[in-house]
Amino acid sequence: MSGLTQMARSAPAAARGERPVTTYKEDLITASLTVWPIIAMFFDGRGHNNETGQESFWSLPHLFLYAGMTAIGVWIGLLVTKYQLAAGADPRKSLIPDLKAIPVGYGVAILGLLTLALGGPTDFIWHAAYGFEVGVDAIYSPPHLLLFFGGLLVSSTGIRSMWAKADITPDLKGFLPVLISATLFIGVSGFITMYLSAFMTNVTPTSDFVADYQAQFKDDFDDQTVSLNAGLTGYGDDQWPFYYYAASHGIASMIITTLILLGPALLMLRRWRVPFGAMTLVFTGYGLLASIMTEYRDWVLVIPLVLAGLAIDVVQSRSGKDRLTLGGIRTAGPIAAAVLWISYYGILALDKGIGWDPTLWVGALMVGIMAGFGVAFLIAPPAYGPRLVDASDG
């Protein structure tokens, strides 16, 4: 534990030049290799979500996933060894590396690889003991959570490594390690929360979904002979608050999706003047990953993501040659959220129809925009310090 603590404490020192910083080429290789296991993970998830009777650990997506994890592990191991040797440390003589010789951004990647190394064998043992999970259980299986967490740590390496470099206004080529890393990080975050994703479990507002439960269920929303509170506690009764759960799921999906998309995006705007088109590519990349999970049935929903990314790019471009100010970031958040959710509901209405009444779907749009403002204000809080109250104020 003391070694991990020392690694965490040494991170700020890296920004002051006390730890090595990797080259652009090394960061690009790391980010590019990480694409392999993350895409394999989405294809594995597609199988779990769209097929039944999976009873083999040795499926093709699983094999590609673990092969990709091995490849990225070997690469990072070789890269860290290179910097260890350059600093005069010999990894062959000690299992504990020289923490000051670990390149900035790669210490957390090592923790991610260790987590993946623990999650892989545990996953095999867990399946042997408890079988293969289906539905929601597959996401929240403990070994799977270890793999997801390790994937988050490794996939974000490009962002952390590039963060320590002096460049504030990179061109699109120079920004590629961050662009790839951000796309994968958002993708893994969306994968973990897929059951609260407006792009993977998006049927609750649609006309067919609403019509189906209204025809099949005696719902408290239509028949209010039983109150909502009584309905929520009337387990097993023939009257059930189905609309309550469907609407709650839909709104919660919007909030979670807004946080997952805009949190990393706005944080990057604080660090860099992001080159035009980068946010469009990041959001489009996430949309393509999410479409794997639905077997491309809802591919048209990539369009709102493209428009939201473009909105951020346009706001950034209008700031001139400088990074966005704190106020500019607070503006970008709700604008991107407004573009995302207005276009989302517009396209959903054209493609599948909206079964919600205006009271709900207009309110949902407002919630999405408010969530965009909220995450923007968290990323870009007030720049002034607090004024302490003293006796003279009395």
**Tens of pLDDT, residue by residue, the chain (394 residues):** 455 555 555 555 554 557 889 999 999 999 999 999 999 889 888 777 766 655 666 677 778 888 888 999 999 999 998 998 888 877 767 667 788 889 999 999 999 999 988 988 888 788 777 777 767 777 888 888 898 899 999 999 999 999 988 788 889 999 999 999 999 999 999 999 988 999 988 888 999 988 888 888 777 777 777 777 777 887 767 777 888 888 999 999 999 999 999 999 999 999 999 999 999 999 999 999 999 988 888 899 999 999 999 999 999 998 877 788 889 999 999 999 999 999 999 999 999 999 999 999 999 999 999 999 999 999 998 776 665 555 554 4
What pLDDT is stored for residue 54 in this prediction?
59
Compute the distance between CA of residue 377 and CA of residue 370 in angstroms, rounded to an integer.
Answer: 11
The tokens for 79 are: 């890269």
Q: Residues 65, 37: contact at Cβ < 8 Å?
A: yes
Q: What is the pLDDT of residue 394?
A: 46
C-alpha neighbours within 13 Å on the C-beta side of residue 223: 13
What residues are paired with 354 via a beta bridge? 206
pLDDT of residue 339: 98
Query: Maximum Cα–Cα distance for the chain, whole Å?
Result: 78
* pLDDT for the residue 89: 77
Distance CA 341, CA 210 (A): 20
Cα–Cα distance measured from residue 270 to residue 256, given in angstroms and rounded to the nearest whole number? 21
How much is the pLDDT for 85? 87
How much is the pLDDT for 375?
96
pLDDT at 9: 54
In a 13 Å sphere around the CA of 308, the CA atoms on its Cβ side amount to 31
CA 64 to chain centre: 21
